[in-house]
Structure formats: C-alpha cells, structure tokens
Amino acid sequence: MNITIEAINIGMPTEIEYRGRAVPSGIQKQSVSRPVKLSYTQLEGDGQADLIHHGGVDKAICAYFYGHYPYWEYVMNKKLIPGAFGENFTLQGASEQDICIGDIFRTDSVRIQVSQPRVPCFKLSAKHSRPTLEEEVKSSGFTGFYFRVLTPGIVTKGDVLILESSHPMGITIQEANRVRHQDKDDLDALKRLLAVDALADSWRKDLSKRLQGIG
C-alpha cells in the first residue's frame, strides 16, 4: 500500500475565537511546497499551543485523508483546502479502514509509525465556526490519525509513503474509533486494542481507566 502526501501543512500557534474569547491554538496550518525537516517531535516551522493533548513523540504528525474533503465540503457547504482539519499531512490513497495502529511507513528519508486515531476537539469546531463539527467528525469516523517518527529526515509534498511493515494485530484506525466513540462497552475489543504495543500512551491511559470501570 502506497500513500501520497498531497500536502504538507505547518503553522505556529495563533489565537482563535471560541465562545467569545480568544484561545491559543496551533490548528491554523498553511501548505508549503518546499522540503521540510521532520524531527522526532514535529515538522520544522510547526507548533502546538496545548502540549498536553497535541504534539510530542506519539503525536509528531497529524494526518488526514484528502478523500474525505468532498464529504465535508458538502456538509459544511464551502470549499476546503489542505490543512482545513489542522493536519500536517494531507494524504491521498487510503482511509481509516486501511491503516492499522503500529503500521510503519517510509519514504527515501524518513520512517514513521501510526500511533493513534486523532480525537477532534472544540478547536476544530471553532476554526470552522461550526459548533457541531467536533461531534460530527467523531460520528463520521473520518478522524484522521497520528504518526510517531522512528527515523527523522526530510519530507516533501508528493512524497510516497511506502508500507514497510503491517502491525500483526491488524487493528485499524476505524476499529479503534469504534471502540472509543461508539461501542464503549465492548470489553473484548477494548482489551485487543490495549494489547497493541504501538498504541500511544495517552490512548492507553484513557482506555485502561475505562477498562477498570467496566471490567
């Protein structure tokens, strides 16, 4: 499975308006055509305002699928450009049902690993002045996901992400979203998800707490 980086989007934190107040956020991204240096924690020139819920080793790159854009353009009745969902990589050629937690992809320069689905927050709703968008993204399953960086390097628009290895557990982003957002009492599925060694620490902590509550 090969996936193309349709766009690389970066941006430093700015203030956005939410419920009448200014909130710092790194959700405003601009596409760049030049090569960009990728470290273990972020793309050069990119930043996050909330380092508890965004960024860091497990969430170095936020990725979203360009194939979802027509759906959201219809829902929101407006034209969207890459970076509209605050993602760093706008990807072409796959969806949440194709990508598994722990899958490793490479280009000529970098190696990256899928770590968790993206959990949309209120800042996405604020960016598009649509209060319902956060929940709409969750219910649609079109969440996107995060990569951790295994080998830093240089990335460029148009790079092809080549699947180096599929995780043996085979738990897709779609399935992880189902467990977290829809079928919250599916104990067996929850245990399988927690058994994925590549799952991001933040998801592991949250789901372990849920397991203690329903187990």
Is residue 182 assigned to a domain?
A: no
The per-residue pLDDT of the chain, averaged, comes to 93
Is residue 212 assigned to a domain?
A: no
Is residue 176 assigned to a domain?
A: no
List pLDDT tens digits, range 63-82: 999 999 999 999 999 999 99
Question: pLDDT at residue 37 above 80?
Answer: yes
Is residue 195 assigned to a domain?
A: no
The 10 Å CB-count burial string (b at 16+, else e) for 150-177 is eebbebebebebebeeebebebbbbbbb
125, 28 contact by CB (below 8 A): no
pTM of the model: 0.94
Check residue 24 and give its pLDDT. 76
Check residue 96 and give its pLDDT. 98
88 CB burial (10 A radius; 0-12, 13-18, 19+) = buried
Query: Counting every residue, how long is the chain?
Result: 215
Higher pLDDT, 118 or 13: 118
122 CB burial (10 A radius; 0-12, 13-18, 19+) = middle
User: Could you give the CA distance from residue 62 to residue 148 in angstroms, rounded to a whole number?
Assistant: 9
Q: How confident is the model at residue 23 (pLDDT cuts 50, 70, 90)?
A: confident
Give the closest residue to 163 by CA, choosing from 106, 115, 111: 106
Q: Give the residue ranges of DSSP H helices in 1-102.
A: 69-76
Count of the separate structural domains present in the chain: 1
- For 172-195, the three-class secondary structure string (H helix, E strand, C coil) is EHHHHHHHHHHCCCCHHHHHHHHC
Is residue 193 assigned to a domain?
A: no
List pLDDT tens digits, range 80-112: 999 999 999 999 999 999 999 999 999 999 999
Check residue 1 and give its pLDDT. 78
Backbone φ and ψ of 195, nearest 5°: -80, -5
The domain in which residue 150 lies consists of 2-167
Q: What is the CATH number of the domain that holds 112?
A: 2.40.33.20
List pLDDT tens digits, range 151-186: 999 999 999 999 999 999 999 999 999 999 999 889
DSSP 121: -
User: Could you give the CA distance from residue 97 to residue 61 in angstroms, rounded to a whole number?
Assistant: 19
Is residue 190 assigned to a domain?
A: no
Is residue 60 assigned to a domain?
A: yes
The C-alpha R_g of the chain, in whole angstroms, comes to 17
- Mean pLDDT throughout 6-22? 86
Residue 128 identity = H
Is residue 199 assigned to a domain?
A: no
Question: pLDDT at residue 48 above 70?
Answer: yes
12, 45 contact by CB (below 8 A): yes
Check residue 15 and give its pLDDT. 78
